[in-house]
Amino acid sequence: MSFATPLFLWFFVPAVLTAVLVAPRGWRNGIVAVASLLFYVTGAGGTTLLLLACMVVNYLAGLRLAPDGPLAADKRRVLLVGVIGFDLAVLLVWKYLGFATEQLAAIASIVGADLPVVHLALPIGISFYTFHHISYVVDVYRGERPALREPVSFITYIAMFPQLVAGPIVRWREIADQLPQERTHRLDDIAAGFPRFALGLCKKVIVADSLAPLVDAAFATPSDEMTWSVAWLGAIGYALQLYFDFSGYSDMAIGLGRMLGFRLPENFARPYSSVTITEFWRRWHMSLSRWFRDYLYIPLGGNRRGTWTTYRNLSIVFVLTGFWHGANWTFLVWGVFHGALLIVERRFGWAEAPQGPKALLGRRALTFLLVVVGWVFFRSPDLGTAFSVLGNMLVPDFDGLPDAVAVAATNQRIALLVLALVVVLLPNHPVTGPYLESARTRVATGLRVAVMTVGALYAAILVAGGTFSPFLYYQF
């Protein structure tokens, strides 16, 4: 079930919010837990059993991992390694086994051998709930937060439907204090969360989905028909589509979480206004960056053990960041590309923002250009397509658009692309989502009214007409 469907918007959410509001406090987590599992099973089907199995393993392990628990320190460590190994094994088998067997089959075919290729259905949100489970057991092991003894509260944390299938990635330490069975829930939470949800709906349905046909047509263009204008339309269009799609989902998730009485972590902070790649990763998919920082980069030594160790750690993190997004060489190249850029910035002292307006403007343009180049690998179905698009971006020509792209490049979509580009290049503060949710100025009030009336109404009309598509990060 997608957030941008009539079933979810007009039946599921109202029913859940009503139940949470009228139920006794002690029932609220149970309502969220049951609703979340129903939400997940509508999209995941039989693979819901995998989620349930992972929850059982991690819940039981958490009860024995606490520093004051029944196990000695060495046995706790062994149990932690074992449960993390289990979580990663589940992720590797269901997400990467098919890719691995495809590569082995391709290599074997060179010598005439025929190896089978394994095809497993990818469970929705497996990358996200795997990281939630690892966060839980590690934080309990470290003694940063206690283990949950109520299974219902544990299900609420792992399966909470606003963030289950595409984040934000909520570390256990960030939400542990919000999960008591007797937690409060007020109408004020709904009043604060709905404008944020409406903003995300507008981003997704009005902007991202409108740009999707143009982007799809550009990247589907055969290499012998690819031109400079098609390549740039596709690259910039995808950069905007992905931002409005994923930040829109995050706004909807954060808004839904607030309406249910939870405060989920921020995930975007105007990333395209960054003046360095280092700053970009402090603003883009921030919950993923924080997860890798806390559970991989710092345990590896971070930047405390010398320059080359820092470079090694960055390389490991971004290779894994690339592959976390998908089982394809294009994601690996995208991760290596960003890791290399971060290393170059550190090596030459470019990680900090330059001084002076002209320098800032130039570095901001360069950073955006580099990010767009990276998105070409991220969007392309294979490396051949990526290099075809990038090669044509380098060679200006005066050729027109192929028919398929010309049909998709309507005046409305081109105008929307330009408007979206202006919006994402505005100054880096304030960040619209948090500002809309908490600010008490006249400007914020006017923006809330506009989003909740004109914007949400138009988005609802588009949803009713079926002009929406699945969120891009559902595939991860």
Tokens in use for 179? Answer: 């999960």
Which member of 285, 325, 338, 429 is catalytic?
325
Tokens in use for 392? Answer: 């044509």
180 cis-preceded (ω within 30 degrees of 0) = no
Q: Please spell the DSSP secondary structure of 91-128, one letter per residue.
A: HIIIIIHHHHHHHHHHHHHHTT-----------TTHHH
Sign of the torsion formed by the C-alpha atoms of 326, 253, 264 and 94: negative
Q: Give residue 441's region: left, alpha or beta (phi > 0; psi -120 to 50).
A: beta
Rounded Cα distance between 143 and 152, Å, is 21
Q: Please spell the DSSP secondary structure of 4-46, one letter per residue.
A: TSHHIIIIIHHHHHHHHHHS-GGGHHHHHHHHHHHHHHHHHGG
Which 8-state DSSP code applies to residue 476?
Answer: -
CB 467 within 8 A of CB 209: yes
Rounded Cα distance between 203 and 254, Å, is 14
Tokens in use for 245? Answer: 């799609």
CB 144 within 8 A of CB 294: no
Rounded Cα distance between 96 and 453, Å, is 44
Q: Which amino acid is at 410?
A: T
Rounded Cα distance between 144 and 147, Å, is 10
Strand, helix or coil for residue 167: coil
The H helix count followed by the E strand count for the chain is 23, 0
430 cis-preceded (ω within 30 degrees of 0) = yes
| 325 labelled catalytic | yes
Tokens in use for 22? Answer: 């009228």
Catalytic residues: 325
